[in-house]
Structure 1
Amino acid sequence: MTDALTLLSFGSEGWGDEIARGTLITVSLALASLPFGLVIGFVVALGKKSEEPSLRTAANIYTTIFRGLPELLTLFMVYYGVQILLNKIYQVFVPDGFVDVNAFVAGMVALSVVFSAYASEAFLSAFRGIKQGQYEGGYALGLRRGQTLRLIIFPQLIRLALPALGNLWLILLKETALISVIGLDDILRWSGIAARVTKEPFLFFGAACLIYLLLAMISSIGLTWIRTWAQRGEGLR
C-alpha cells in the first residue's frame, strides 16, 4: 500500500504530477471540442430541416460519414490526412516547407466533427418537438425569422435537447482517451508510460479509471443542475 501511494504521489518519486497534467489535457480537450461540436451540430440540424434539397442532402451525407466511421479512424484521417493536404498546398508556395499538425488541434477537430454528427440528431429531434404554432406566434408578434429562432425557438430547443446532449458530453469525455495514440499527453498516455516504467499496470490504469469515473460524476452533477435550471419555468405552467 505504501509503495502504491508513493508511486501515485506528487514529486520526484511519484507520477502524480504527470497524471494531473494528463487530466488537465483531457478536460481541456473535451471542453475545447464541445462548443465547436454544438455549433456545427446545430448548423447541420438546420440543414437537415431546410426546404432546400441540396442542403438536406449535404447534411445527411455529413452525418452518415461521421456516424459511420470509427472515431479512431476519423482521428487518423484528420491527423495524417489533413497534414498531408496542408503540406501539399504549402509546398506549392514554399517547396521545402513543412506543416506539422498539432496533436491537440487534430484531436479537437476529430472529436468536434464526430460529436456534431450525433448532436445534429439531438437538435433535429428537439426541433420536431416544437410545434409549428410557436413559429407562427413569433411571426404574429412581428418578429423576423432570425428573431423568432433566437428568442422563442432556441430556448425551447436547448431544453428539449439537453438530455441527449448530456449523454453525448459523457461520450465525448471518454473518447478523449483515443487521442493518446497520436502522442497527446492525456490521462491514458501518462498512465501507460507509468505502467511500463514501474511494471504496475493495474495500479496506474486503475487510477485512470477512477479519474474518468470522477470526471463523469462531476459532469453528471453539472448536467443535472443545468437541466434543473433550464426547466425552472415548467412547474409554473
Structure 2
Amino acid sequence: MNQPDFLDVVSFAPGGWGGALLAGAWMTILIAISGFLIGSIIGTFGAWAKVSGGRTIRAIADGYTTVLRGIPDLLVIYLFYFGGSAAVTAIGRFFGSEGFIGFPGFLAGALAVGITSGAQQTEVFRGAFKAVHRGEIEAAVACGMSRAVRFRRIIAPLTLRHALPGMGNVWQVVLKESALVSITGVAELLRQAQVGAGSTGMPFNFYVVAGAIYLMISTFSGALLQWSERYFSRGVRRN
C-alpha cells in the first residue's frame, strides 16, 4: 500500500487532518489565554501582598512564589487533575454516585497553568510597581487625588507600562506550558498531532507542522505584545 501524500493528510479535505489540527490550535490558545488571565489576577494580588501586605501576608505570598517557581509545571497539572478527580469522586459518592468521576481536563489545565504563571506574574508586577518613580505618586497625593483615583490614573497605568515586557515573557512560557495539558486528554494542538502521527505513521511530519503552528501563534502574539508596549509607552523618551 502506497504512503499517502502528506499534503493530502494535513489538508482540510475529507479524511485530512487540517481541521483537527486547527481545532487543536484553537484549544491551545484558549488554554493559554485562560491560564494567563488567571495568573494575571493571582499575580496582581500576590504583588499587592508583597508590596503592601503585613508580615503574615508577605510570608504567604513569598511561600507561594517560592513553591510554584520551584516545582515542575507538569507536576502541578498532575496534582490539579488527579487531585480534582479524587475530590469530585468523593463528592459524587457523598451524593450517592458510584464509580470514578474525572475532573474536566480543560479546567484542570487552565487552573494549573494559571497558578504557575501567577507566581511569575507576581514578581513581574512587584518589580514593575517598584519601578514607578516615587515622585509621580507623591505628585498625585499633592494634587489631592484619593487612593482609588491615584491607583486608576497613576499607579495602574505606570505599573502596566513597566510590566508589559515581563508579561510578554510569561505569555510565551504559558503558551509552551499549554502543551503539557495534553496529558489530561484535552484535544489541544500537541494531542491532535500525537493522534494524527499514530494514525498515519508519519510522526515527524505531524510534529513539524505542530511546531510551525506554535511558532506562528508565538510570533503573532509577540508582535501584538510589542505593539502594546509601544502604545503604552507613548510620550516616553527612548534611550
> Which TM bucket (shorter chain)?
over 0.9
Measured after TM superposition, the shift of residue 153 of structure 1 is 0.7
Aligned residue runs from structure 1 range 178-193, under 5 A: 178-193=180-195
**1:81 aligns to what?**
83
* Counterpart code for 1:113: I
Which residue among 93, 102, 105 is the counterpart of 1:100?
A: 102
Which residue among 153, 156, 176 is the counterpart of 1:154?
A: 156
**Superposition RMSD on alpha carbons, in Å?**
1.8
SS in 1 for 2:5: helix
Is 1:116 the counterpart of 2:118? The answer is yes
Measured after TM superposition, the shift of residue 120 of structure 1 is 0.6
Give distance in 2, aligned partners of 1:18 and 1:49: 46
Aligned residue runs from structure 1 range 38-49, under 5 A: 38-49=40-51
**Closer, same or farther: CA 216–86 of 1 in aligned 2, 3 Å:** same
Give distance in 2, aligned partners of 1:96 and 1:19: 36
**2:179 aligns to what?**
177
**1:10 aligns to what?**
12
**1:72 aligns to what?**
74
Give distance in 2, aligned partners of 1:152 and 1:141: 12
Measured after TM superposition, the shift of residue 156 of structure 1 is 0.5
Q: Which runs of 4+ in 1 moved over 6 A?
A: none
Give distance in 1, aligned partners of 2:67 and 2:188: 27
**1:209 aligns to what?**
211
Is 1:33 the counterpart of 2:35? The answer is yes
The unaligned stretches of length 5 or more in structure 1 are none
Give distance in 1, aligned partners of 2:199 and 2:36: 34
Deviations 1:88-126 (CA, angstroms, capped at 9, x unpaired) = 34544x143665321111111000011110011111111
The share of aligned pairs that are identical, in percent, is: 33
Which deviates the most, 121-130 or 31-40? 31-40
Give distance in 2, aligned partners of 1:27 and 1:9: 21
Give distance in 2, aligned partners of 1:228 and 1:31: 21
TM-score normalised by the chain length of structure 1: 0.93
**1:23 aligns to what?**
25
SS in 1 for 2:15: coil
Give distance in 1, aligned partners of 2:37 and 2:152: 17
Residues matched between the structures, number: 235
Give distance in 1, aligned partners of 2:57 and 2:83: 26
Measured after TM superposition, the shift of residue 32 of structure 1 is 1.7
* Counterpart code for 2:102: D
The unaligned stretches of length 5 or more in structure 2 are none
